[in-house]
Structure 1
Amino acid sequence: MADIHVEEFYKDVAIALIQLYSAFPRRINLFVEDIAGPDETDEFGLHSKRHMACFGTLLWLSEEGLLRHVDTIRQEALDQAVLTRDAFVRLSAPAPMALVRELSEPLSEPGLPLSVQNDLSTYVYLLRSALRSGSSSRISLAVQSTFFTDTGFGSVH
């Protein structure tokens, strides 16, 4: 079993990238509280470890070339964040069918048009499906498969 902070990292990655994908190509402010939930600072004005871990995840995504941003808003948000080209292309790409079958919700209508089937086999759809499931293992697998393993589509640099 993974450490809880690693499971939270994968969930934060998935939520942040889905938010950015949903707004693409618009730049948005990416707020930690929208990803990790509400946070109350302590008597010294310091954020919780959970809040800071999520903020660190957002900075890491930027450092790894998955998103760009203009600045930070204190430790609350990334200002004017947008997916990089590589991240957008990867999220829009079709995932291997074995992974789609493992991570997707079963299709209720097998006769769906090809365009809809294609949309339901993208990496971003797999991330959304994994998040809806609430399963840490599915979220972890979806994020790892999308960005951290080579599945023949090239890796994001």
Structure 2
Amino acid sequence: MADIHVEEFYKDAAIALVQLYMAFPRRTNLFVEDIAGPDEPDEFGLHSTRHMACFGALLWLAEEGLIRYVDTIRQEALDQAVLTRQAFVRLNAPAPQALVRELSTAPREPSLPASVQKDLSTYIHLLRSALKSGSSSRISLAVQSTFFNDAGLEPVH
């Protein structure tokens, strides 16, 4: 089992990427509160550790070339965020069938049209399915498989 902050990172990253995919190619504001939940700054105006971890995850996604944004809105959002070409192409790519069988929550229907079967086997579908399941291990595996396997890393089961 991974540390809780790493599990939260995977979930934050998956939610952000799915939100940006749904808006693509439009630029949109990506609010931390929409990803990590409501936050009440303390008496000094400082956000919670959870809020700042999510904000940090968004900045990390940008630093790693998965998303672009114009500016930050304090520590509350990324202004005019959009997926990079690299992220968009990867999210639309077909995932290995073994991974699709393991992570997909949709029943496998051989009678579905080929175009629907193709859509159900993409990385974006795996991220959506993992988020829908609410399972931290499924979310972690989906994010690791989507973005880290090209680096020669194998997802942890």
CA distance in 2: counterparts of 1:140 and 1:120, whole angstroms: 19
CA deviations 1:59-80 (Å, max 9, x no partner) are 0000000000000000000000
Distance 1:151 1:60, change over 3 A: closer
Structure 1 letter corresponding to 2:75: Q
Task: Mark the runs of 5 or more structure 1 residues left unpaired by the alignment.
Answer: 153-157
Paired with 1:33 and 1:71, the residues of 2 have a C-alpha distance of 17
Residue 56 of structure 2 corresponds to which residue in structure 1?
A: 56
Alpha-carbon separation, structure 2, partners of 1:14 and 1:98? 20
Residue 97 of structure 1 pairs with residue 81 of structure 2: no
**Residues 10-49 of structure 1 mapped to structure 2, 5 A cutoff:** 10-49=10-49
Aligned-partner Cα distance in 2 for 1:151–1:5: 22
The SS at the match of 2:150 is: coil
**Aligned residue for 2:67?**
67
Question: What RMSD over aligned residues (CA atoms) do the two structures have, in Å?
Answer: 1.3
Give the deviation of 1:108 after TM superposition.
Answer: 5.9
- Superimposed CA distance per residue, residues 69-115 of structure 1 (whole angstroms, 9 cap, x where no aligned partner): 00000000000000000000000000000000000014264310000
Worse-superposed segment, 105-114 or 65-74: 105-114
1:25-82 per-residue CA deviation (whole Å, 9 max, x = no partner) reads 0000000000000000001000000000000000000000000000000000000000
Deviation for aligned residue 1:149: 1.2
* Aligned match of 1:155: none
Aligned-partner residue type, residue 98 of structure 1: A
> For the residues of structure 2 that align with 1:12 and 1:43, how far apart are their CA atoms?
26
Q: Give, as a single letter, the amino acid of the residue that structure 2 aligns with 1:16.
A: A
Q: How many residues of Structure 1 are paired with residues of Structure 2 in the alignment? A: 152
Identity %: 84
- TM-score, length-scaled by structure 1: 0.94
Q: Which residue number in structure 1 is paired with residue 155 of structure 2?
A: none
What TM-score results when the alignment is normalised by the length of structure 2? 0.94
Cross-structure match for 2:145: 145
* Cα distance in 1, alignment partners of residues 61 and 72 from structure 2: 13
Distance in 2, matches of 1:54 and 1:93, equals 26
Distance 1:122 1:79 in 2: 28
- Cα distance in 1, alignment partners of residues 93 and 42 from structure 2: 43
Unmatched runs of 5 consecutive residues or more in structure 2:
153-157
